[in-house]
Amino acid sequence: MKFNFLSLNKQSSVPTNKILVSPNWYLAWGKIDQIKTDISWSDRHFFIHQVQPTFSSNERFVVVGDICLTNLSQLQKNLDISASLTATQIVAELWQSYGVKTFLLLEGIFALAVWDREEKELWIGRDRVGGRTLYYTTTDSTIWISPRLKILSPYHSNDLDLIALRDYLCCAFLPGERTLWQEVKELRPGSFIHFTNDLKIPSPMSYWQPQVQVKNADRPLEYHGEKLRSLLDKIIPEYLPNNQPVGAYLSGGLDSSCIVALAAKNHDYPVHTYSIHFGAELPNELEFSSLVAQHCQTQHHILEITPDDMWNNLPITMANLDYPIGDPLTVPNYLLGNLAAENVGVILNGEGGDPCFGGPKNKPMLLNNIYGGLQSGKPDIVSSYLSSFHKCFDFLPKLLKPDIWEAVKTEPYIFESDLNSDADYLNRLMLLNIKFKGADHILTKVNNMTRATSLIGLSPLFDQRIVELSLEIPSEYKLSGADEKAVLKRAVADLLPETILTRPKSGMMVPVNFWFRQIWQRRTRNLLLSKKAAIAPYFNQDLIKDWLNYRGDTWQRYGIKLWLLVSLEIWLQVNL
């Protein structure tokens, strides 16, 4: 086993107007005012840009997309499809035989489009959990579609969606179909849209949604743990690349550790693991990540990230995000991806463990439910849920300018129907985390950051089969008192050191609070308090001054709030 300790080369801050991101395919259907040089295929008024399409064998259906199927071999075997076909070719053949029912046959991650040359109709669809993204907008009589929101920037106004802005301030990501741009929508996971030749945008239709369906509630923990392990042993090999090494991000927590252990157990090629820390003087989890790396005999790489690394790489990170994500780990994800790309082409992660199996981030809302007397249907349940994010929800009336607050304060939140469902309370929270935090924060971040570093990023614990199984498991086997993820621990108990199974989760904490107070003060003032700041028309800068001066009762949380605003400002600068 080999340990590599690395640090980044010093570099100056990147000017926000000089950042370029890699192009991606996009579609146009309708009237195009000028001939574009990047058109790769067209059918009268339907245009495919920057990618060569795939045709069905009868040449009626044209398929483009980002498609990674985990049931490729199963489809080839059960449906008598040639093993030489690519995933996109398989989708084309399936569509020729099954039409829209093809979505029900696909397992994996994808964002795709199918053009019917005979009927002049278009279908777009997204995978069940949200591993890939797809955006759409319209200008006059033309529909534009792309997996990259930035590619659509010439075809929409720069008017902000104020409700999306409010939701970002509450969650640090954008839940649901809204983007920050008023005229652009995101197709939801497990959904498709069928466009006909009237060139109107119809409502999306759902072909799959996660549902709480607890089964075998009378069976013991051992039963559910064995069932989960059996599924993990089946799924993990499907995520491993053929005849090449694989990488995995390793924090030393249960989720990433179990993915590393299962990968090492099932892969005949080297497994590279990657961990970060923020300086020897600050808390870290290298003791635990190194223990797992040694236990699993991986080639382990450790990257130190400094405050200058974080600040200087924020513009390039935000430029590669389809919308701002106020999670401080986003920049480390980008930096670690650059390091991993030196050794591997596929990188695994442990994302999904918390939403599916009851991580500690559910505890604040559970405590509110138990001690605050919250019951389904009471008017403050949504407020309590949003407060539990510890972002800006409680400050919105003061943070937003009066006219902005007046425009959004009574608009409903997308979480309301799920919070008020009849499901067990913990399962309600976990369903929300899967549908929104999973798809709109975690998987979007993974997709954007690995794509930016030319990696294929995969999240096995967010596989649709894992998600479905997790929603069948009784809640007491996920989070019960201080016992977190009991069923996952049971499933992988033989693969990991006892220390990893029994230690409490501390989470990977980026020391933004410390850095804002000690290092980033002047930079942040210049960025957020300028009259020319992109956020200036929307926010009360006096409150931001208070946060920068650490005035108030919740000073220990101001670092996260400031990072959220800095991320938003930089994202707007590189996208306006």
Is 265 within 8 Å of 276 (Cβ atoms)?
no
Residues in the chain: 576
Fold assignment, 16-206: Glutamine Phosphoribosylpyrophosphate, subunit 1, domain 1 (3.60.20)
Task: Indicate the domain borders of the chain.
Answer: 16-206, 221-358+460-502, 377-419+511-575
One-letter amino acid identity for 325?
I
Q: Which numeric CATH code is attached to 221-358+460-502?
A: 3.40.50.620
Which residue is listed with tokens 């996260």?
A: 560
Q: Kindly report the pTM of this predicted structure.
A: 0.92
Rounded Cα–Cα distance for residues 576 and 135 (Å): 18
Token readout for 156 is 């929409």
CA gap 279, 282 in Å, rounded: 6
Round to whole Å and give the CA distance between 235 and 465: 9
142: Cβ–Cβ under 8 A, 6 or more apart, which residues?
Answer: 28, 29, 30, 31, 32, 155, 199
What lies within 8 Å, CB to CB, of 18 at 6+ separation is none
One-character DSSP codes across 515-528:
HHHHTSHHHHHHHH
Q: Which of 83, 50, 90 is nearest to 68 (CA)?
A: 90
Distance between CA atoms of 418 and 410, rounded to whole angstroms? 18
Q: What is the pLDDT along the chain (576 residues), one digit of tens a residue?
A: 566 666 665 443 444 444 555 558 999 999 876 656 688 999 989 999 989 999 999 999 999 999 999 998 889 888 888 888 999 999 999 999 999 999 999 999 999 999 999 999 999 999 999 999 999 999 888 999 999 999 999 999 999 999 999 999 999 999 999 999 999 999 999 999 999 988 789 999 999 999 989 999 999 999 999 999 999 999 999 999 999 999 999 999 999 999 999 999 999 999 999 999 999 889 899 999 999 999 999 999 999 999 999 999 999 999 999 999 999 999 999 999 999 999 999 999 999 999 999 865 555 555 555 444 444 444 578 888 888 888 999 999 999 999 999 999 999 999 988 888 877 777 888 889 999 999 999 999 999 999 999 999 999 999 999 999 999 999 899 886 667 899 999 999 999 999 999 987 666 689 999 999 999 999 999 999 999 999 999 999 999 999 998 776 555 578 999 999 999 999 999 998
